[in-house]
C-alpha cells in the first residue's frame, strides 16, 4: 500500500454499520484502502480496511472473507493485529470492510527505507514477534500467505505485529484477479505457491526466510523485469547466504536463512514455531543484546494522524460609517440612578459608617487593655519587696 492525500477519498467522514466513522486515509493498494477510524460506540480509535467495491458482488469472495475474518478474530497474540469486526459487502452498498486494531506507528517497509539493513540483534527483534504470531496462527490451522514488510507493523512503543491474515486467500478464491497482489508478493512467494498455488505453514516459513534475508541485506534475493521473472527465479535458484552480500552476518544466520528458504518444503522448518525456536537458540548462542524496534518516523500512519485544520478566512473589511447623534443606538443595559454595579449608593454609605464604628470599638478595646496591663505591672513592681 502507498500513502495518499488524506482528503483524496470520498469515503472519509462516512459511518459504517452505524458505528464506525471513517476518518483520514492512511494508505491505498490494488485491492483495498486503510483508514484511520473511530468506533463511536466504544470511543476507540480503529483501523478500517475497506476492500475495493468490485469485490462487493462476489459471493465466493464474501464467504471466504467472512470466514477468514472470524478465524483471525479468534487469534490472541501480541504479534498479531487484532480483528474486531467485519461487515459490508452488499451489492451496490458498502464494500466489504474489516475493523482492526489501530497500530500507531508504521510499517517495516517504511523503516527499511529510512534505515536500510539491520544488524543481527535488530533483525532478531523484528523476527521474534513475527514468528510468534505466525506460530499461533499455524497452531490454529491458519496460513498467512503474504508475509512481507508491508504487512509487518511497528508501533511507537516498539511492538511488532503481523496484519492481513487471510486476505490473499479470499482474493485468490474470488472471480476477480488482481495483478497488484501478484506484484506485491512476488518477491516473497514460495516455490510451491508459484508452481501450484498451494500454501501451507512451510510457505510462510519460506517467506519469513526471504524477509530475514532482506532485513540483513536491505533487499530481496531475486530481482527481474517483471513479477513473473522474479517469481520463477526461485524455482531453479537457491537463496544465497546473506553474508555473501553484506559482511558481518554471522554464519548462524546464513544457515537460518538457507534452511528456511530451501526449495524443498520438507527440508525447511516445519512451521513458524520450529523456526522461532531456532532463532531463539541463535540469539542465546551469539548473546545478542535485547533491542527495541523503532517505529519509522515518516510513516503514512503518522501523517494520517495529523489532520490539517483549514484556515478561517478573514472577515471582509467594511467601510467606517459616520453616525450622527440621533443614529447612535440606545444602550441595552444602563445602571439605575443612585446605583453602582447594581447596588444602591445608600448601602455604600451605611457600610462605611459601620466600618468606622467597628474600627473605633477595637481602638478603645486595645487602649483599655493596654492601660490595665500597665497598672497591673506598676502595682506588682511596687509591692515586689513585700511579696518577696
DSSP 271: S
Distance CA 246, CA 212 (A): 13
Q: CB-based burial of residue 189 (10 Å sphere; 0-12 exposed, 13-18 middle, 19+ buried)?
A: buried
Site of grid cell 511488532: 160
Per the document, the length of the chain is 388
Q: 146 an active-site residue?
A: yes
Instruction: Label residue 230 exposed, middle or buried (CB < 10 Å: 0-12, 13-18, 19+).
Output: buried
Exposed / middle / buried, residue 158 (Cβ in 10 Å: 0-12, 13-18, 19+): middle
Rounded Cα distance between 336 and 273, Å, is 87
CA atoms of 320 and 322, how far apart (whole Å): 7
Which region holds residue 105: left if phi is over 0, alpha if psi is between -120 and 50, else beta?
left
Burial zone of 364 (CB within 10 Å; 0-12 exposed, 13-18 middle, 19+ buried): exposed
Given the residues 146, 159, 204, 271, select the one marked as catalytic.
Answer: 146
Distance (Å, whole) CA 311 – CA 314:
9
Which residues make beta-bridge pairs with 45?
A: 38
DSSP 313-362: PPPPP-------GGGSPPPS-PPPTTEETTEEHHHHHHHHHHHHHHHHHH
Q: Which residues are catalytic?
A: 146
Amino acid at each position: 500500500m502507498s500513502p495518499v492525500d488524506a482528503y483524496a477519498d470520498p469515503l472519509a467522514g462516512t459511518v459504517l454499520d452505524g458505528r464506525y466513522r471513517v476518518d483520514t486515509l492512511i494508505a491505498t493498494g490494488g485491492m483495498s484502502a486503510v483508514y484511520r477510524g473511530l468506533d463511536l460506540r466504544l470511543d476507540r480509535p480503529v483501523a478500517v480496511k475497506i476492500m475495493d467495491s468490485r469485490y462487493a458482488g462476489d459471493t465466493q469472495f464474501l464467504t471466504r472473507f467472512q470466514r477468514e475474518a472470524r478465524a483471525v478474530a479468534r487469534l490472541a497474540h501480541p504479534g498479531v493485529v487484532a480483528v474486531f469486526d467485519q461487515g459490508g459487502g452488499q451489492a451496490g452498498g458498502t464494500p466489504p470492510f474489516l475493523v482492526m486494531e489501530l497500530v500507531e506507528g508504521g510499517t517495516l517497509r517504511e523503516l527499511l527505507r529510512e534505515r536500510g539493513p539491520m544488524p543481527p540483534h535488530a533483525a532478531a527483534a523484528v523476527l521474534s514477534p513475527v514468528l510468534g504470531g505466525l506460530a499461533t496462527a499455524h497452531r490454529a490451522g491458519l496460513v498467512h500467505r503474504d508475509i512481507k514488510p508491508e504487512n509487518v507493523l511497528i508501533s511507537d512503543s516498539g511492538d511488532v505485529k503481523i496484519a492481513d491474515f487471510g486476505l490473499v486467500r479470499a482474493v485468490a478464491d474470488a472471480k476477480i484477479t488482481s495483478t497488484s497482489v501478484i506484484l506485491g508478493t512476488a518477491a516473497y512467494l514460495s516455490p510451491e505457491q508459484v508452481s501450484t498455488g498451494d500454501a501451507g505453514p512451510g510457505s510462510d516459513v519460506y517467506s519469513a526466510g526471504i524477509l530475514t534475508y532482506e532485513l540483513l541485506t536491505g533487499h530481496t534475493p531475486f530481482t527481474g523485469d517483471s513479477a513473473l521473472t522474479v517469481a520463477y527465479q526461485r524455482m531453479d535458484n537457491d537463496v544465497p547466504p546473506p553474508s555473501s552480500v553484506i559482511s558481518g552476518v554471522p554464519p548462524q544466520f546464513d544457515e537460518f536463512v538457507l534452511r528456511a528458504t530451501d526449495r524443498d518444503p520438507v527440508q525447511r522448518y516445519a512451521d513458524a514455531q520450529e523456526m522461532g525456536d531456532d532463532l531463539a537458540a541463535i540469539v542465546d548462542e551469539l548473546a545478542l543484546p535485547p533491542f527495541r524496534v523503532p517505529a519509522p518516523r515518516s510513516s503514512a500512519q503518522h501523517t494520517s494522524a495529523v489532520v490539517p485544520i483549514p484556515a478561517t478566512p478573514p472577515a471582509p473589511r467594511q467601510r467606517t460609517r459616520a453616525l450622527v447623534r440621533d443614529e447612535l443606538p440606545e444602550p441595552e443595559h444602563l445602571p439605575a440612578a443612585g446605583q453602582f454595579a447594581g447596588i444602591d449608593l445608600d448601602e455604600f454609605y451605611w457600610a462605611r459608617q459601620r466600618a468606622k464604628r467597628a474600627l473605633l470599638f477595637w481602638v478603645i478595646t486595645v487602649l483599655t487593655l493596654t492601660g490595665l496591663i500597665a497598672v497591673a505591672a506598676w502595682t506588682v513592681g511596687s509591692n515586689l519587696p513585700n511579696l518577696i
